[in-house]
Amino acid sequence: MSEVRSAFNVSCKNCGLQKICFPTGLQKDEIERLDNIVDRRAPLKKGQHLFEANDNFNALYAIRAGVVKLYSFTNTGEEIVHGFYLPGDVLGIDALGSRRHQYNAIALDTTSVCSLPFEKFSNLTDELPQLNKQMMNVISKEVLDGRMHSELLVRRNADQRVAQFIWNMSERYRSRGYASSEFRLSILHRDVAVYLGLTPETVSRILAKFHADGVATWKKKEVVIHDMDKLLNTAGIQTSCDSCNKATA
Amino acid sequence: MSEVRSAFNVSCKNCGLQKICFPTGLQKDEIERLDNIVDRRAPLKKGQHLFEANDNFNALYAIRAGVVKLYSFTNTGEEIVHGFYLPGDVLGIDALGSRRHQYNAIALDTTSVCSLPFEKFSNLTDELPQLNKQMMNVISKEVLDGRMHSELLVRRNADQRVAQFIWNMSERYRSRGYASSEFRLSILHRDVAVYLGLTPETVSRILAKFHADGVATWKKKEVVIHDMDKLLNTAGIQTSCDSCNKATA
DNA sequence: CGCGACTTTGAAGGCACTCAAACACTGTGG
DNA sequence: CCACAGTGTTTGAGTGCCTTCAAAGTCGCG
Protein backbone atom coordinates (compact mmCIF):
# COMPACT_ATOMS: atom_id res chain seq x y z
CA MET A 1 0.00 0.00 0.00
CA SER A 2 2.80 2.44 0.81
CA GLU A 3 4.31 1.51 -2.52
CA VAL A 4 1.12 2.56 -4.22
CA ARG A 5 0.85 5.74 -2.20
CA SER A 6 4.28 6.88 -3.21
CA ALA A 7 3.48 6.28 -6.86
CA PHE A 8 0.69 8.83 -6.54
CA ASN A 9 3.04 11.73 -5.87
CA VAL A 10 5.71 11.33 -8.54
CA SER A 11 6.45 14.53 -10.44
CA CYS A 12 6.19 14.65 -14.24
CA LYS A 13 9.93 14.38 -14.70
CA ASN A 14 10.04 11.13 -12.78
CA CYS A 15 6.79 9.76 -14.16
CA GLY A 16 6.89 6.61 -16.23
CA LEU A 17 4.06 7.86 -18.43
CA GLN A 18 5.94 10.74 -20.07
CA LYS A 19 5.80 9.05 -23.44
CA ILE A 20 2.02 8.75 -23.33
CA CYS A 21 0.97 11.88 -21.51
CA PHE A 22 1.56 15.62 -22.01
CA PRO A 23 5.33 15.80 -21.37
CA THR A 24 6.06 14.08 -24.71
CA GLY A 25 8.76 15.96 -26.54
CA LEU A 26 9.20 18.64 -23.87
CA GLN A 27 12.60 19.90 -22.65
CA LYS A 28 13.60 19.38 -19.03
CA ASP A 29 12.86 22.96 -18.02
CA GLU A 30 9.58 22.86 -19.89
CA ILE A 31 8.53 19.75 -18.00
CA GLU A 32 9.37 21.57 -14.81
CA ARG A 33 7.00 24.40 -15.74
CA LEU A 34 4.28 21.89 -16.52
CA ASP A 35 5.01 20.15 -13.25
CA ASN A 36 4.41 23.36 -11.35
CA ILE A 37 0.82 23.74 -12.43
CA VAL A 38 -0.13 20.11 -11.87
CA ASP A 39 -2.46 19.60 -8.95
CA ARG A 40 -2.11 16.12 -7.46
CA ARG A 41 -5.09 15.18 -5.35
CA ALA A 42 -5.89 12.23 -3.15
CA PRO A 43 -6.72 9.14 -5.20
CA LEU A 44 -10.34 8.44 -6.09
CA LYS A 45 -11.91 5.35 -4.61
CA LYS A 46 -13.75 2.88 -6.78
CA GLY A 47 -17.15 4.32 -7.60
CA GLN A 48 -16.20 7.97 -7.10
CA HIS A 49 -16.77 10.43 -9.91
CA LEU A 50 -13.99 12.55 -11.34
CA PHE A 51 -16.64 14.79 -12.88
CA GLU A 52 -20.25 14.56 -13.90
CA ALA A 53 -22.24 15.76 -16.88
CA ASN A 54 -23.04 19.47 -16.69
CA ASP A 55 -20.23 20.18 -14.22
CA ASN A 56 -18.22 23.27 -14.94
CA PHE A 57 -15.01 22.62 -16.81
CA ASN A 58 -12.12 23.49 -14.54
CA ALA A 59 -9.33 21.17 -15.50
CA LEU A 60 -8.04 18.45 -17.75
CA TYR A 61 -7.15 15.22 -15.98
CA ALA A 62 -4.26 12.90 -16.75
CA ILE A 63 -4.65 9.44 -15.32
CA ARG A 64 -1.69 8.23 -13.31
CA ALA A 65 -3.05 4.91 -12.08
CA GLY A 66 -6.35 3.05 -12.25
CA VAL A 67 -9.20 3.04 -14.76
CA VAL A 68 -11.94 5.54 -15.50
CA LYS A 69 -15.16 4.92 -17.41
CA LEU A 70 -16.65 7.78 -19.45
CA TYR A 71 -20.41 7.41 -19.81
CA SER A 72 -23.78 9.09 -20.19
CA PHE A 73 -27.41 8.16 -20.66
CA THR A 74 -29.85 8.16 -23.54
CA ASN A 75 -33.15 10.00 -23.23
CA THR A 76 -34.70 6.67 -22.31
CA GLY A 77 -32.31 6.21 -19.43
CA GLU A 78 -30.09 3.56 -21.01
CA GLU A 79 -26.42 3.85 -20.23
CA ILE A 80 -23.92 4.63 -22.96
CA VAL A 81 -20.26 3.86 -22.34
CA HIS A 82 -17.98 6.07 -24.42
CA GLY A 83 -14.66 4.64 -23.40
CA PHE A 84 -12.23 3.48 -20.76
CA TYR A 85 -9.23 5.59 -19.79
CA LEU A 86 -5.95 4.08 -18.65
CA PRO A 87 -2.80 5.56 -17.08
CA GLY A 88 -1.38 8.25 -19.35
CA ASP A 89 -4.73 9.00 -20.97
CA VAL A 90 -6.27 12.44 -20.73
CA LEU A 91 -9.86 13.10 -19.67
CA GLY A 92 -12.00 16.19 -20.00
CA ILE A 93 -11.68 16.92 -23.71
CA ASP A 94 -15.45 16.64 -23.96
CA ALA A 95 -15.78 19.98 -22.18
CA LEU A 96 -13.34 22.04 -24.28
CA GLY A 97 -15.99 23.67 -26.42
CA SER A 98 -18.86 24.31 -24.06
CA ARG A 99 -16.81 24.69 -20.87
CA ARG A 100 -19.14 22.16 -19.30
CA HIS A 101 -18.63 18.44 -19.07
CA GLN A 102 -20.85 16.46 -21.38
CA TYR A 103 -20.34 13.06 -19.79
CA ASN A 104 -19.74 11.37 -16.46
CA ALA A 105 -16.34 10.02 -15.47
CA ILE A 106 -16.26 7.36 -12.77
CA ALA A 107 -13.34 5.44 -11.26
CA LEU A 108 -13.68 1.69 -11.78
CA ASP A 109 -10.87 1.05 -9.35
CA THR A 110 -8.71 3.08 -7.02
CA THR A 111 -7.58 5.81 -9.37
CA SER A 112 -5.06 8.60 -9.15
CA VAL A 113 -5.14 11.59 -11.48
CA CYS A 114 -3.04 14.66 -12.20
CA SER A 115 -5.28 17.68 -12.46
CA LEU A 116 -4.32 20.44 -14.90
CA PRO A 117 -6.23 23.65 -14.14
CA PHE A 118 -7.27 24.76 -17.57
CA GLU A 119 -6.58 28.48 -17.26
CA LYS A 120 -2.98 27.91 -16.22
CA PHE A 121 -2.55 25.09 -18.70
CA SER A 122 -3.93 27.21 -21.51
CA ASN A 123 -1.49 30.01 -20.71
CA LEU A 124 1.34 27.54 -20.73
CA THR A 125 0.42 26.14 -24.15
CA ASP A 126 0.58 29.72 -25.47
CA GLU A 127 4.19 29.87 -24.36
CA LEU A 128 5.35 26.36 -25.19
CA PRO A 129 4.71 25.44 -28.84
CA GLN A 130 5.69 21.85 -28.20
CA LEU A 131 3.08 21.56 -25.45
CA ASN A 132 0.50 23.09 -27.74
CA LYS A 133 1.37 20.52 -30.37
CA GLN A 134 1.07 17.74 -27.84
CA MET A 135 -2.31 19.12 -26.84
CA MET A 136 -3.33 18.79 -30.48
CA ASN A 137 -2.15 15.20 -30.43
CA VAL A 138 -4.21 14.45 -27.35
CA ILE A 139 -7.35 15.99 -28.81
CA SER A 140 -6.76 14.34 -32.14
CA LYS A 141 -6.43 11.01 -30.38
CA GLU A 142 -9.80 11.63 -28.77
CA VAL A 143 -11.35 12.24 -32.19
CA LEU A 144 -9.83 9.12 -33.71
CA ASP A 145 -10.83 7.09 -30.67
CA GLY A 146 -14.42 8.08 -31.20
CA ARG A 147 -14.20 7.12 -34.86
CA MET A 148 -12.66 3.78 -33.94
CA HIS A 149 -15.53 3.17 -31.57
CA SER A 150 -18.07 3.93 -34.28
CA GLU A 151 -16.17 1.67 -36.64
CA LEU A 152 -16.42 -1.12 -34.10
CA LEU A 153 -20.16 -0.71 -33.84
CA VAL A 154 -20.82 -0.70 -37.56
CA ARG A 155 -21.08 -3.97 -39.39
CA ARG A 156 -18.92 -6.02 -37.03
CA ASN A 157 -20.49 -9.00 -35.34
CA ALA A 158 -20.35 -9.70 -31.63
CA ASP A 159 -17.33 -12.03 -31.86
CA GLN A 160 -15.31 -9.43 -33.73
CA ARG A 161 -16.25 -6.69 -31.30
CA VAL A 162 -15.17 -8.62 -28.22
CA ALA A 163 -11.98 -9.84 -29.88
CA GLN A 164 -11.11 -6.35 -31.03
CA PHE A 165 -11.77 -4.94 -27.59
CA ILE A 166 -9.41 -7.42 -25.95
CA TRP A 167 -6.78 -6.80 -28.59
CA ASN A 168 -7.14 -3.05 -28.22
CA MET A 169 -6.65 -3.25 -24.46
CA SER A 170 -3.65 -5.47 -24.97
CA GLU A 171 -2.12 -2.94 -27.36
CA ARG A 172 -2.70 -0.10 -24.95
CA TYR A 173 -0.92 -1.96 -22.20
CA ARG A 174 1.89 -2.87 -24.56
CA SER A 175 2.42 0.76 -25.56
CA ARG A 176 2.76 1.58 -21.88
CA GLY A 177 5.44 -1.02 -21.41
CA TYR A 178 3.34 -3.61 -19.66
CA ALA A 179 2.78 -7.25 -20.55
CA SER A 180 0.38 -7.40 -23.46
CA SER A 181 -0.69 -11.03 -23.34
CA GLU A 182 -1.51 -11.15 -19.67
CA PHE A 183 -2.92 -8.23 -17.74
CA ARG A 184 -5.36 -7.11 -15.11
CA LEU A 185 -8.53 -5.44 -16.32
CA SER A 186 -10.76 -3.83 -13.69
CA ILE A 187 -13.71 -3.52 -16.02
CA LEU A 188 -16.97 -5.34 -15.55
CA HIS A 189 -18.15 -7.52 -18.39
CA ARG A 190 -21.38 -5.59 -18.11
CA ASP A 191 -19.61 -2.29 -18.90
CA VAL A 192 -17.77 -3.81 -21.81
CA ALA A 193 -21.05 -5.13 -23.16
CA VAL A 194 -22.59 -1.67 -23.05
CA TYR A 195 -19.48 -0.16 -24.65
CA LEU A 196 -19.68 -2.69 -27.48
CA GLY A 197 -23.41 -2.32 -27.97
CA LEU A 198 -24.09 -5.88 -26.81
CA THR A 199 -25.79 -7.53 -23.85
CA PRO A 200 -23.85 -9.02 -20.93
CA GLU A 201 -25.24 -12.42 -21.87
CA THR A 202 -23.78 -12.25 -25.35
CA VAL A 203 -20.38 -11.17 -24.06
CA SER A 204 -20.43 -13.99 -21.55
CA ARG A 205 -21.19 -16.58 -24.23
CA ILE A 206 -18.45 -15.25 -26.48
CA LEU A 207 -15.86 -15.23 -23.71
CA ALA A 208 -16.79 -18.83 -22.93
CA LYS A 209 -16.22 -19.70 -26.57
CA PHE A 210 -12.89 -17.84 -26.71
CA HIS A 211 -11.78 -19.78 -23.65
CA ALA A 212 -12.84 -23.13 -25.13
CA ASP A 213 -11.14 -22.32 -28.46
CA GLY A 214 -7.88 -21.42 -26.78
CA VAL A 215 -8.01 -17.82 -28.01
CA ALA A 216 -8.14 -15.90 -24.75
CA THR A 217 -9.43 -16.15 -21.20
CA TRP A 218 -10.98 -13.41 -19.11
CA LYS A 219 -11.91 -14.50 -15.63
CA LYS A 220 -12.07 -12.45 -12.49
CA LYS A 221 -10.43 -9.30 -13.92
CA GLU A 222 -7.49 -11.29 -15.26
CA VAL A 223 -7.06 -11.40 -19.03
CA VAL A 224 -4.80 -13.97 -20.68
CA ILE A 225 -4.35 -14.04 -24.43
CA HIS A 226 -3.44 -17.58 -25.47
CA ASP A 227 -3.13 -17.11 -29.20
CA MET A 228 -2.64 -13.61 -30.56
CA ASP A 229 -3.01 -14.71 -34.18
CA LYS A 230 -6.33 -16.38 -33.52
CA LEU A 231 -7.44 -13.28 -31.64
CA LEU A 232 -6.48 -10.97 -34.50
CA ASN A 233 -8.15 -13.30 -36.93
CA THR A 234 -11.36 -13.37 -34.91
CA ALA A 235 -11.29 -9.59 -34.64
CA GLY A 236 -11.06 -9.38 -38.42
CA ILE A 237 -7.76 -7.56 -38.31
CA GLN A 238 -5.24 -8.54 -40.93
CA THR A 239 -1.88 -6.99 -40.26
CA SER A 240 -0.84 -6.85 -43.90
CA CYS A 241 -3.15 -4.40 -45.57
CA ASP A 242 -1.56 -1.01 -46.15
CA SER A 243 -3.83 0.29 -48.87
CA CYS A 244 -7.13 -0.65 -47.26
CA ASN A 245 -7.97 2.94 -46.46
CA LYS A 246 -7.16 4.24 -49.89
CA ALA A 247 -10.04 5.70 -51.88
CA THR A 248 -10.86 3.55 -54.86
CA ALA A 249 -14.02 4.97 -56.41
CA MET B 1 -25.09 29.62 -62.84
CA SER B 2 -23.45 33.02 -62.56
CA GLU B 3 -25.36 33.44 -59.30
CA VAL B 4 -23.72 30.27 -57.99
CA ARG B 5 -20.33 31.30 -59.25
CA SER B 6 -20.42 34.58 -57.43
CA ALA B 7 -21.34 32.80 -54.20
CA PHE B 8 -18.06 30.89 -54.44
CA ASN B 9 -15.94 34.01 -54.09
CA VAL B 10 -17.53 35.82 -51.18
CA SER B 11 -15.05 36.97 -48.53
CA CYS B 12 -15.46 35.96 -44.88
CA LYS B 13 -16.90 39.33 -43.91
CA ASN B 14 -19.71 38.97 -46.44
CA CYS B 15 -20.22 35.25 -45.92
CA GLY B 16 -23.55 34.06 -44.55
CA LEU B 17 -21.86 31.27 -42.62
CA GLN B 18 -19.98 33.45 -40.11
CA LYS B 19 -22.06 32.15 -37.24
CA ILE B 20 -21.18 28.54 -38.02
CA CYS B 21 -17.63 28.78 -39.30
CA PHE B 22 -14.39 30.21 -37.94
CA PRO B 23 -15.24 33.93 -37.90
CA THR B 24 -17.60 33.47 -34.91
CA GLY B 25 -16.91 36.14 -32.32
CA LEU B 26 -14.10 37.79 -34.25
CA GLN B 27 -13.73 41.56 -34.62
CA LYS B 28 -13.96 43.17 -38.04
CA ASP B 29 -10.22 43.61 -38.39
CA GLU B 30 -9.62 40.08 -37.16
CA ILE B 31 -11.96 38.69 -39.79
CA GLU B 32 -9.98 40.64 -42.34
CA ARG B 33 -6.76 38.96 -41.24
CA LEU B 34 -8.44 35.55 -41.45
CA ASP B 35 -9.77 36.49 -44.85
CA ASN B 36 -6.27 37.19 -46.08
CA ILE B 37 -5.03 33.67 -45.56
CA VAL B 38 -8.07 31.95 -47.03
CA ASP B 39 -7.40 30.24 -50.32
CA ARG B 40 -10.54 29.98 -52.45
CA ARG B 41 -10.21 27.37 -55.15
CA ALA B 42 -12.42 26.32 -58.03
CA PRO B 43 -15.38 24.27 -56.84
CA LEU B 44 -15.11 20.50 -56.71
CA LYS B 45 -17.31 18.53 -59.03
CA LYS B 46 -19.42 15.68 -57.76
CA GLY B 47 -17.17 12.67 -57.18
CA GLN B 48 -13.94 14.65 -56.75
CA HIS B 49 -11.90 14.16 -53.61
CA LEU B 50 -10.97 17.02 -51.33
CA PHE B 51 -8.31 14.80 -49.82
CA GLU B 52 -7.62 11.11 -49.45
CA ALA B 53 -6.37 8.91 -46.63
CA ASN B 54 -2.63 9.19 -46.15
CA ASP B 55 -2.39 12.54 -47.92
CA ASN B 56 -0.20 15.09 -46.25
CA PHE B 57 -2.05 17.55 -44.09
CA ASN B 58 -1.74 20.97 -45.63
CA ALA B 59 -4.91 22.78 -44.76
CA LEU B 60 -8.21 22.81 -42.97
CA TYR B 61 -11.23 23.17 -45.21
CA ALA B 62 -14.39 25.13 -44.50
CA ILE B 63 -17.30 24.17 -46.68
CA ARG B 64 -18.99 27.05 -48.40
CA ALA B 65 -21.53 25.16 -50.50
CA GLY B 66 -22.32 21.53 -51.27
CA VAL B 67 -21.88 18.32 -49.29
CA VAL B 68 -18.82 16.23 -48.48
CA LYS B 69 -18.75 12.64 -47.28
CA LEU B 70 -15.94 11.54 -44.95
CA TYR B 71 -15.23 7.84 -45.27
CA SER B 72 -12.72 5.02 -45.09
CA PHE B 73 -12.57 1.24 -45.41
CA THR B 74 -12.32 -1.66 -43.01
CA ASN B 75 -9.55 -4.21 -43.45
CA THR B 76 -12.06 -6.35 -45.27
CA GLY B 77 -12.75 -3.62 -47.79
CA GLU B 78 -16.14 -2.55 -46.49
CA GLU B 79 -16.85 1.15 -46.58
CA ILE B 80 -17.30 3.12 -43.39
CA VAL B 81 -19.00 6.51 -43.56
CA HIS B 82 -17.92 8.78 -40.73
CA GLY B 83 -20.09 11.76 -41.50
CA PHE B 84 -21.49 14.31 -43.89
CA TYR B 85 -20.27 17.90 -43.91
CA LEU B 86 -22.49 20.82 -44.80
CA PRO B 87 -21.79 24.51 -45.51
CA GLY B 88 -20.03 26.08 -42.53
CA ASP B 89 -18.58 22.77 -41.35
CA VAL B 90 -14.84 22.27 -41.08
CA LEU B 91 -12.99 19.30 -42.54
CA GLY B 92 -9.49 18.00 -41.90
CA ILE B 93 -9.51 17.72 -38.12
CA ASP B 94 -8.68 14.04 -38.53
CA ALA B 95 -5.16 14.98 -39.58
CA LEU B 96 -4.28 17.38 -36.76
CA GLY B 97 -2.28 14.87 -34.76
CA SER B 98 -0.45 12.82 -37.36
CA ARG B 99 -0.21 15.54 -40.02
CA ARG B 100 -1.66 13.01 -42.42
CA HIS B 101 -5.28 12.57 -43.36
CA GLN B 102 -6.84 9.45 -41.91
CA TYR B 103 -9.92 9.38 -44.08
CA ASN B 104 -11.18 10.21 -47.56
CA ALA B 105 -13.30 13.28 -48.26
CA ILE B 106 -15.39 13.23 -51.41
CA ALA B 107 -17.83 15.79 -52.82
CA LEU B 108 -21.34 14.37 -53.16
CA ASP B 109 -22.41 17.36 -55.19
CA THR B 110 -20.77 20.43 -56.68
CA THR B 111 -18.92 21.72 -53.66
CA SER B 112 -17.00 24.86 -52.88
CA VAL B 113 -14.54 25.10 -50.01
CA CYS B 114 -12.39 27.70 -48.33
CA SER B 115 -8.91 26.34 -47.79
CA LEU B 116 -7.00 27.45 -44.69
CA PRO B 117 -3.28 26.65 -45.05
CA PHE B 118 -2.47 25.24 -41.67
CA GLU B 119 0.87 26.93 -41.08
CA LYS B 120 -0.57 30.38 -41.63
CA PHE B 121 -3.74 29.52 -39.75
CA SER B 122 -1.78 28.18 -36.82
CA ASN B 123 0.26 31.38 -36.61
CA LEU B 124 -2.92 33.40 -36.66
CA THR B 125 -4.50 31.43 -33.82
CA ASP B 126 -1.40 32.23 -31.78
CA GLU B 127 -2.14 35.92 -32.23
CA LEU B 128 -5.91 35.90 -31.99
CA PRO B 129 -7.16 34.29 -28.77
CA GLN B 130 -10.75 34.40 -29.98
CA LEU B 131 -9.80 32.45 -33.10
CA ASN B 132 -7.96 29.93 -30.98
CA LYS B 133 -11.05 29.53 -28.86
CA GLN B 134 -13.18 29.05 -31.93
CA MET B 135 -10.70 26.44 -33.14
CA MET B 136 -11.29 24.61 -29.85
CA ASN B 137 -15.02 24.80 -30.48
CA VAL B 138 -14.61 23.33 -33.92
CA ILE B 139 -12.47 20.46 -32.69
CA SER B 140 -14.71 19.87 -29.74
CA LYS B 141 -17.67 19.69 -32.08
CA GLU B 142 -15.82 17.01 -34.03
CA VAL B 143 -15.32 14.97 -30.87
CA LEU B 144 -18.95 15.28 -29.81
CA ASP B 145 -20.08 14.46 -33.33
CA GLY B 146 -18.15 11.21 -33.18
CA ARG B 147 -19.71 10.38 -29.83
CA MET B 148 -23.15 11.16 -31.18
CA HIS B 149 -22.49 8.81 -34.05
CA SER B 150 -21.46 6.04 -31.67
CA GLU B 151 -24.53 6.74 -29.58
CA LEU B 152 -26.68 6.33 -32.67
CA LEU B 153 -25.14 2.96 -33.42
CA VAL B 154 -25.52 1.54 -29.94
CA ARG B 155 -28.82 0.04 -28.94
CA ARG B 156 -31.01 2.04 -31.29
CA ASN B 157 -33.08 0.15 -33.81
CA ALA B 158 -33.21 0.90 -37.51
CA ASP B 159 -36.32 3.08 -37.30
CA GLN B 160 -34.78 5.25 -34.62
CA ARG B 161 -31.53 5.61 -36.53
CA VAL B 162 -33.17 6.78 -39.72
CA ALA B 163 -35.54 9.12 -37.87
CA GLN B 164 -32.69 10.59 -35.89
CA PHE B 165 -30.63 11.07 -39.02
CA ILE B 166 -33.40 13.01 -40.75
CA TRP B 167 -34.00 15.08 -37.65
CA ASN B 168 -30.32 15.79 -37.28
CA MET B 169 -30.05 17.00 -40.87
CA SER B 170 -33.12 19.14 -40.35
CA GLU B 171 -31.57 20.73 -37.27
CA ARG B 172 -28.35 21.43 -39.10
CA TYR B 173 -30.21 23.22 -41.86
CA ARG B 174 -32.26 25.11 -39.34
CA SER B 175 -29.17 26.35 -37.50
CA ARG B 176 -27.92 27.67 -40.82
CA GLY B 177 -31.08 29.62 -41.38
CA TYR B 178 -32.63 27.35 -43.98
CA ALA B 179 -36.02 25.67 -43.96
CA SER B 180 -35.89 22.75 -41.57
CA SER B 181 -38.98 20.81 -42.63
CA GLU B 182 -38.29 20.80 -46.33
CA PHE B 183 -34.82 20.65 -47.81
CA ARG B 184 -32.63 19.20 -50.50
CA LEU B 185 -30.30 16.41 -49.47
CA SER B 186 -27.72 15.29 -52.02
CA ILE B 187 -26.90 12.12 -50.18
CA LEU B 188 -27.58 8.66 -51.53
CA HIS B 189 -29.74 6.36 -49.44
CA ARG B 190 -26.90 3.89 -49.81
CA ASP B 191 -24.44 6.25 -48.08
CA VAL B 192 -26.89 6.97 -45.30
CA ALA B 193 -27.36 3.25 -44.79
CA VAL B 194 -23.63 2.72 -44.42
CA TYR B 195 -23.38 5.70 -42.06
CA LEU B 196 -26.15 4.25 -39.91
CA GLY B 197 -24.77 0.72 -39.94
CA LEU B 198 -27.73 -0.57 -41.93
CA THR B 199 -28.31 -1.97 -45.41
CA PRO B 200 -29.84 0.08 -48.23
CA GLU B 201 -32.79 -2.33 -48.28
CA THR B 202 -33.58 -1.65 -44.64
CA VAL B 203 -33.38 2.10 -45.12
CA SER B 204 -35.65 1.86 -48.13
CA ARG B 205 -38.24 -0.12 -46.21
CA ILE B 206 -38.18 2.33 -43.33
CA LEU B 207 -38.51 5.36 -45.58
CA ALA B 208 -41.50 3.72 -47.24
CA LYS B 209 -43.05 3.24 -43.82
CA PHE B 210 -42.32 6.85 -42.76
CA HIS B 211 -43.99 8.02 -45.94
CA ALA B 212 -47.05 5.85 -45.38
CA ASP B 213 -47.32 6.93 -41.74
CA GLY B 214 -47.17 10.60 -42.65
CA VAL B 215 -43.95 11.15 -40.74
CA ALA B 216 -41.59 12.22 -43.50
CA THR B 217 -40.88 11.70 -47.18
CA TRP B 218 -37.51 11.43 -48.86
CA LYS B 219 -37.71 11.01 -52.60
CA LYS B 220 -35.25 12.05 -55.23
CA LYS B 221 -33.02 14.11 -52.93
CA GLU B 222 -35.97 16.07 -51.56
CA VAL B 223 -36.78 15.64 -47.89
CA VAL B 224 -40.11 16.75 -46.48
CA ILE B 225 -40.91 16.35 -42.81
CA HIS B 226 -44.68 16.07 -42.40
CA ASP B 227 -44.90 15.69 -38.66
CA MET B 228 -41.97 16.78 -36.52
CA ASP B 229 -43.45 15.36 -33.30
CA LYS B 230 -43.93 11.95 -34.84
CA LEU B 231 -40.40 12.11 -36.17
CA LEU B 232 -38.95 13.00 -32.77
CA ASN B 233 -41.03 10.31 -31.19
CA THR B 234 -39.84 7.70 -33.67
CA ALA B 235 -36.25 8.80 -33.12
CA GLY B 236 -36.71 8.25 -29.40
CA ILE B 237 -35.97 11.88 -28.60
CA GLN B 238 -38.08 13.47 -25.92
CA THR B 239 -37.53 17.20 -25.74
CA SER B 240 -38.28 17.47 -22.03
CA CYS B 241 -35.54 15.58 -20.26
CA ASP B 242 -32.89 17.83 -18.75
CA SER B 243 -31.47 15.50 -16.17
CA CYS B 244 -31.11 12.44 -18.40
CA ASN B 245 -27.35 12.72 -18.58
CA LYS B 246 -26.91 13.12 -14.86
CA ALA B 247 -25.02 10.38 -13.07
CA THR B 248 -27.30 8.46 -10.78
CA ALA B 249 -25.25 5.57 -9.40
C1' DC C 1 -23.11 -16.62 6.77
C1' DG C 2 -26.06 -14.06 3.87
C1' DC C 3 -27.14 -10.41 0.91
C1' DG C 4 -26.57 -7.83 -3.46
C1' DA C 5 -24.37 -7.48 -7.67
C1' DC C 6 -22.53 -9.72 -11.45
C1' DT C 7 -22.16 -13.78 -14.45
C1' DT C 8 -23.53 -17.91 -16.65
C1' DT C 9 -26.66 -20.96 -19.07
C1' DG C 10 -30.86 -22.22 -21.60
C1' DA C 11 -34.94 -21.62 -24.60
C1' DA C 12 -37.68 -18.82 -27.62
C1' DG C 13 -38.50 -15.05 -30.58
C1' DG C 14 -37.73 -10.87 -33.50
C1' DC C 15 -35.22 -7.58 -36.11
C1' DA C 16 -32.34 -6.73 -39.64
C1' DC C 17 -29.50 -9.16 -43.03
C1' DT C 18 -28.85 -11.87 -47.26
C1' DC C 19 -30.06 -13.20 -51.64
C1' DA C 20 -32.64 -12.40 -55.74
C1' DA C 21 -35.20 -10.05 -59.08
C1' DA C 22 -37.80 -6.24 -60.82
C1' DC C 23 -38.03 -1.36 -61.18
C1' DA C 24 -36.56 3.73 -61.70
C1' DC C 25 -33.44 7.19 -62.75
C1' DT C 26 -29.37 9.40 -65.31
C1' DG C 27 -26.47 10.28 -68.70
C1' DT C 28 -24.42 8.80 -73.12
C1' DG C 29 -24.12 7.64 -77.89
C1' DG C 30 -26.31 6.30 -82.13
C1' DC D 1 -35.22 11.46 -79.79
C1' DC D 2 -34.86 6.98 -78.40
C1' DA D 3 -32.15 2.90 -76.97
C1' DC D 4 -29.38 1.24 -73.53
C1' DA D 5 -26.17 0.58 -69.97
C1' DG D 6 -24.98 1.58 -65.27
C1' DT D 7 -26.18 2.77 -60.88
C1' DG D 8 -29.31 3.21 -57.26
C1' DT D 9 -33.87 1.83 -55.22
C1' DT D 10 -37.69 -1.09 -54.17
C1' DT D 11 -39.97 -5.34 -52.92
C1' DG D 12 -40.29 -10.16 -51.40
C1' DA D 13 -38.99 -14.51 -49.09
C1' DG D 14 -36.07 -16.95 -45.98
C1' DT D 15 -32.54 -17.14 -42.50
C1' DG D 16 -29.44 -16.22 -38.69
C1' DC D 17 -27.55 -13.54 -35.08
C1' DC D 18 -28.36 -11.43 -31.10
C1' DT D 19 -31.79 -10.14 -27.80
C1' DT D 20 -35.12 -11.07 -24.34
C1' DC D 21 -36.81 -13.42 -20.55
C1' DA D 22 -36.03 -16.55 -16.85
C1' DA D 23 -33.52 -18.95 -13.43
C1' DA D 24 -29.53 -20.85 -11.39
C1' DG D 25 -24.82 -20.08 -10.14
C1' DT D 26 -20.75 -17.39 -8.42
C1' DC D 27 -18.23 -13.66 -6.46
C1' DG D 28 -17.24 -10.08 -3.07
C1' DC D 29 -17.96 -7.94 1.07
C1' DG D 30 -20.08 -6.54 5.55
Q: Is the pLDDT score of B134 beyond 60?
A: yes
Task: Check residue A44 and report its DSSP letter.
Answer: B
Instruction: Using a 7 Å cut-off to protein CB atoms, list the covered nucleotides of chain D.
Output: 8-13, 17-22, 27-28
Tell me the CATH number for domain B156-244.
1.10.10.10
- Per-residue model confidence as pLDDT tens for chain A (249 residues): 444 445 557 888 888 888 888 878 888 889 999 999 999 888 999 999 999 999 999 999 999 999 999 999 998 889 999 999 999 999 999 999 899 999 999 999 999 999 999 999 999 988 888 888 899 889 999 999 999 999 999 989 999 999 999 999 999 999 998 999 999 999 999 999 999 999 999 999 999 999 999 999 999 899 999 999 999 999 988 654 444 455 544
Q: Which of B106, B115, B79 is nearest to B186 (CA)?
A: B106
Neighbours of B246 (CB within 10 A): 12
- CB of A98 within 8 Å of a chain B CB? The answer is yes
- CB of B42 within 8 Å of a chain A CB? The answer is no
How far, in Å, is the CA of A213 from the C1' of nucleotide D23? 27
Q: Can you give the residue ranges of every domain in chain A?
A: 2-153, 156-244
Note whether A74 contacts B151, CB cutoff 8 Å.
yes
Note whether A93 contacts B153, CB cutoff 8 Å.
no
Q: Which of A103, A131, A110 is nearest to A29 (CA)?
A: A131
Which nucleotide across the nucleic acid strands is nearest to A221, CA versus C1'? Answer: D27
How far, in Å, is the CA of A201 from the C1' of nucleotide D23? 14
CA geometry: angle at B225 spanning B222 and B231, to 5°? 135
User: CATH second-level architecture of A2-153?
Assistant: Sandwich (2.60)
Phi then psi dihedrals of residue A84, to 5 deg: -120, 135
Measure CA A157 to chain center. 23
Are A69 and A106 in contact, with CB atoms under 8 Å apart?
A: yes
CA distance A237 to chain B (A): 6
Q: Is B155 left (phi over 0), alpha (psi -120 to 50) or beta?
A: left
Q: Where are the alpha helices (DSSP H) in A128-242?
A: 129-153, 158-175, 189-196, 200-212, 228-235
Strand pairing category for A59-65 and A90-91? antiparallel
How far, in Å, is the CA of B200 from the C1' of nucleotide C20? 15
DSSP string, A106-148: EESSSBEEEEEEHHHHHHHHHH-HHHHHHHHHHHHHHHHHHHH
* Chain A residues near residue B142 by CB distance under 8 angstroms: 143
What pTM did the predictor assign? 0.91
Comparing CB atoms, the residue among B75, B139, B153 nearest residue A197 is B153
